[in-house]
Amino acid sequence: MAFTLGEIARRLGGRVAGDAAILIRQVGTLEHAGPGQIAFLANSRYRGRLAATRAAAVIVGADSESLSTLPRLVCEEPYLMYARVAALLNPRAAPVPGIDPQARIAADARIAEGARVEQGASVEAGTTIGAGAWIGAGCHIGGGVAIGEHSRLHPGVVVYRGCRIGARAIVHSGAIIGADGFGFANDGGRWIKIPQLGGVTIGDDVEIGAGTTIDRGAIEDTLIEDGVKLDNQIQIGHNCQVGAHTAIAGCAGLAGSARVGRRCTIGAGSIVLGHLTICDDVHISADTVITKSIARPGTYTGLYPFAGHAAWSRNTALVRHLAKLEARVRELERRLAAGFTEPR
């Protein structure tokens, strides 16, 4: 698939500077793009690479337009424009409709026209699969599941009974949706399992990364709202709620009943403890542990900087004595306020 730079601008916006007839077949990086490829500059630190690029054309902001004589697509947000151009040149594959003979389909499962179910997949009783949906090889779809139109489950996805996935979802291999939440009651030192009676409800246009797990609710459903993007190997505990258009990076975890608002971002490796509430428009830096609810939008960071081991050990030892230091400072302040000074 190929478009001229002028055609791309007409479809996606932006302004062409230079040869609008240049043909673009693919995207590329400033360092490695060649003929027929378009690169982008979104960070001023890489201006030197712009001067040396061999791309056929570049996407730039207005402040960088004069830095190159190549054909340019000038726009307000080059990275966003790059994403749109990449999607234009690399459209999602459409499923070839049909049910593989080696798929196992329950007699009362309803699979809409235009859907695809691949080899080794199993679809249990009472499930509905929408038009244009694509169920990859080896997927297991439990009883009473609903999967919306044009959603794609890559090979090896497991969806437990009673869960719902909206339209145009993408679920990558190894994801498990609807396993039991971690619910146990202590009976004199022995753990008694609490039945997990809820399900998982996932909205439209959600993407779920490989190896991510979303537990079913204990009583009510775990809820993932429209447009949420989950990276690989994320844990979403039972009864969590994730607001629309929130994005969570890899290896993060939400403990049970955590509620995250809309348009939030959570960095890789971060943890939100259970039963906390994060308001809309909060941005949590990587490796941050959230230990109390957040009521104000903004960026929150709890990262402990790394250092050489010896320096880290010394600093950690000092941290352990902060409580004693605080007590000494308070005592000195009390004595000074009372008119006393430390003996010489």
Q: Which residues are catalytic?
A: 238
Which of 294, 178, 194 has the alpha carbon at shortest distance from 238?
Answer: 178
Cβ-based burial of 336 (10 A; exposed 0-12, middle 13-18, buried ≥19): exposed
Bridge partners (DSSP) listed for residue 196? none
For 189-291, strand residue ranges (E) read: 190-193, 200-202, 207-208, 213-215, 222-224, 229-230, 235-236, 241-242, 247-248, 253-254, 259-260, 265-266, 271-272, 277-278, 282-284, 289-290
Q: Distance between CA 235 and CA 170 in Å, rounded?
A: 17
Cβ neighbours of residue 16 under 8 Å, at least 6 residues apart? 5, 6, 9, 71, 72, 73, 74
CB 88 within 8 A of CB 8: yes
Which ranges of the chain does DSSP label H, i.e. alpha helix?
A: 5-12, 47-52, 78-89, 309-320, 322-337
